[in-house]
Chain A
């Protein structure tokens, strides 16, 4: 069993293909809730969420032990991660199948990335 990050991206703070009307929003919600129920039923869903935009981000770095704050996201880009699921999947084919369903439900491209390791470093150091 592997774990994968399925993520969506915003482009200049917009979500391409996002629901435009209340009716579209309603069916969008229904599709995503049904997808998550399917993920739960198959023990696929680990965690997920939708993020605020990059304007809400702060980067903290350490300078000789003193934290230094920078307003804004780390990556200078038009595209930023907008939301994600962390899923359990047998292999990449299974993860790609879930990504396909997610892309269909959200009307948005989904990036699939395998986790090198998950959980606490103490649990996996020496293995990965």
Chain B
């Protein structure tokens, strides 16, 4: 290995460790300082020191602890040098009551505590913050993404994202949003908000290949959450749902175009991820405390279990959608259930189910795409074309529009009188519940 290559490898190792320990270090220092901005600045300073020190001395055995200790010491030095700090310090010499975080006894053991990260997740995803602020804070503070990276993830400019983060942190401080794991009574609702933020981050990465890194970030955060809250089956359910979706990403597109579930090359699915996802779903079933994320994961587990589209256990999928609808009665769940009914009872039954939700989802392209598919299977070409055209008009992504244009082209080839043998269905593995 040439020195340049070795140096590069060390540099990337240091970057990787920074990314891994950023959230832990910020979380612990927020507890110590009681202030997010102060904690972030201190961690940035410590990273500057570390990037020099570690490249010569190597990465320490406990990098998070090293960063926290260095960050804390530097912040305290800065604080003492400031006028306000000197004033406080003089008072402390005569006053035995020391403010939290500044007493010498607190300095002894400030190693990263896993509870700190949990506290920070719940603060970032507090329901008093708007969703886009929750997502931005989570990616910045826990994911360790730079402001520019977060900005690019949400297609806004860096100054706009910086402003968003400042506003969110201002509200946390001004309104005194607590830094703690919620009480048991509030936990289910508050956890839902955390899980939704992580799933939103994952799906943002799924919608756009340019933002694929968000998927691994979401999975990493979900994994951390499961470790922190091993008794919460919904957290495990979310992790399984992401893994089972992620496993099929390699087969989802071909040369930029969407490939339907029925046409995917299942040998390209990642078996290791599927096995891990299946194991989590089985553990959830044993616990028997079902919730929306676990049920969605179970549906994906059934898909991943099938060797082919035809071999899918559709009655089981319909049963799981029924169960999901009972805990999460949204039109989008009803849409996915209707599509599954197309496989068990046929397109006529599916259309009846779609009619019931059509008023609620008139502006949702996938509802019209599903109608088009069922109409096509019934041989009603003109009605199918109208539905596909409406779907294409509403679709937001290039991939979706391309896919729908292809359906319309194929309709013309179906011939006037015979109904098509080849059926096109929505890819419910990736599109569900959005």
Chain A interface (Cβ within 8 Å of chain B)? 2, 90-93, 95-96, 112, 114, 116
Contact = CB atoms under 8 A, between A and B. Distances in A.
Contacts of B126: 92
A93 B178 contact: yes
B174 A93 contact: no
A114 B176 contact: yes
A57 to B, nearest CB: 27
A114 B186 contact: no
Main secondary structure of the interface of B (DSSP, over half): loop
B241 to A, nearest CB: 29
18 contacts: A90-B178, A91-B176, A91-B177, A91-B178, A92-B126, A92-B128, A92-B175, A92-B177, A93-B177, A93-B178, A93-B186, A95-B175, A96-B128, A112-B175, A114-B174, A114-B175, A114-B176, A116-B174
B182 interface: yes
Q: Which 4 A-B pairs have the closest CB atoms?
A: A91-B178, A114-B175, A92-B175, A91-B176
A116 B176 CA distance: 10
Interface string B168-189: 0000001111100010001000
Nearest to B186: A93
Contact of B182 (A93, A95, A114, A116): A93
Which size bracket describes the interface of B in this complex?
under 10
Given A91-B178, A92-B178, A93-B177, 5 more contacts: A92-B128, A92-B175, A92-B177, A93-B186, A112-B175
A126 to B, nearest CB: 10
A73 to B, nearest CB: 25
Contacts of A2: 176
A116 B178 CA distance: 16
Nearest to B174: A114
A93 B119 CA distance: 14
A4 to B, nearest CB: 8
Contacts of A92: 126, 128, 175-178
Contacts of A91: 176-178
Interface in B176-205: 176-178, 182, 186
Nearest to A2: B176
A115 B28 CA distance: 27
Nearest to A115: B174
Contacts of A90: 178
A116 B170 CA distance: 12
B90 to A, nearest CB: 16
A96 B178 CA distance: 12
Contacts of B186: 93
A91 B175 CA distance: 7
Contacts of A112: 175
B128 to A, nearest CB: 6
Nearest to A114: B175
A88 to B, nearest CB: 12
Interface in B95-126: 126
A114 B182 CA distance: 20
Contacts of B178: 90-93
B30 to A, nearest CB: 14
Contacts of B177: 91-93
A96 B128 CA distance: 9
Contacts of A95: 175
* Residue picked from A2, A91, A92, A96, most chain B C-beta under 10 Å: A92
Nearest to B182: A93
Contacts of A93: 177-178, 182, 186
A125 to B, nearest CB: 14
A123 B424 CA distance: 72
A95 B175 CA distance: 9
Interface string B120-152: 000000101000000000000000000000000
Nearest to B127: A96
